[in-house]
Amino acid sequence: MTLGDLTSALSREMPEVLRWGGALARRIRGFNISLPGKTSGSHLTDALTLADISVQELLVGALRDRDTVFREARIEAEEENGDLHLFADDAPWTIALDPIDGTRQYRDQTGDGYAVMLSLRTRDTLHYSLVYLPEMGPAGTWVEAIEQTIRCGPDDPLQPARDVLDAITPVDPATRPDSPRIYLIGFQEHDSARAEDVTATGLEGVAPDDMPGSIYHSWPTAASAAR
């Protein structure tokens, strides 16, 4: 298996699965779905809902069943459920999943910027990213990045998900220059202070509280964001 094989399989098989996961999250959001169980100390990352568990089960199951190349990669999942043990323990490629990015906003119903996210990386770089925002726009919004090609646009549930993505005009780098914004997370109560340190260098540090939904939704430069 090559990196190209894995990237091609993800881009072919997973868009419709993320759309299904987004539909599930959108449907159950109106119920009492908050769950206990995460205790990292961060009010942003410790939010956990039934949707996180349910959508991850769907994503992991699809990766398990849809193409055998997926099981040759490592898998890093935000939650602990699903057949994670069926994937490689040691591999040069890692498939990362975040079933609900922006869980706190999703749970508290304070905005519609949450997303279902999947990415493929090696130790050195990110090679593929697929993001579906179920409630951004009339029918949801896509962000897909394959190497230097980035697509960002509305979903159309009357068309196959892959066809919708293929029809979106890629972002023209000439009209979208590099952003000075650097997203800071993982410093717990010091996130804001670390963001200020970055800003002091001449860049623009951004703390998690300034981006309450998915990081792909919260800024105009979302399509070039990297976690």
**What does the pLDDT look like over 130-141, one tens digit per residue?**
999 999 999 999
The pLDDT score that the predictor gives to residue 214 is 63
The pLDDT score that the predictor gives to residue 103 is 81
The pLDDT score that the predictor gives to residue 216 is 52
DSSP the chain: --HHHHHHHHHHHSHHHHHHHHHHHHHHTTS--B-----SS-TTTS--BHHHHHHHHHHHHHHHHH-GGGGGSEEEESSS-SSGGGS-SS-S-EEEEEEEETHHHHHHTS-S--EEEEEEE-SS-EEEEEEEETTSSSS-EEEEEETTEEEEEE--TTS-HHHHHHHSPPP-GGGSPPP-EEE--SSGGGHHHHHHHHHHTTSEEE-GGG--S-TTTSSTTGGG---
The pLDDT score that the predictor gives to residue 173 is 84
The pLDDT score that the predictor gives to residue 89 is 95
The pLDDT score that the predictor gives to residue 44 is 46
Question: What are the sequence ranges of the domains in the chain?
Answer: 3-175
Residue segments in the chain with a per-residue pLDDT below the cut of 70 = 32-48, 212-227
The pLDDT score that the predictor gives to residue 220 is 39
The pLDDT score that the predictor gives to residue 40 is 42
Q: pTM for this structure?
A: 0.83
The pLDDT score that the predictor gives to residue 167 is 98
Identify the architecture of domain 3-175 in CATH: 2-Layer Sandwich (3.30)
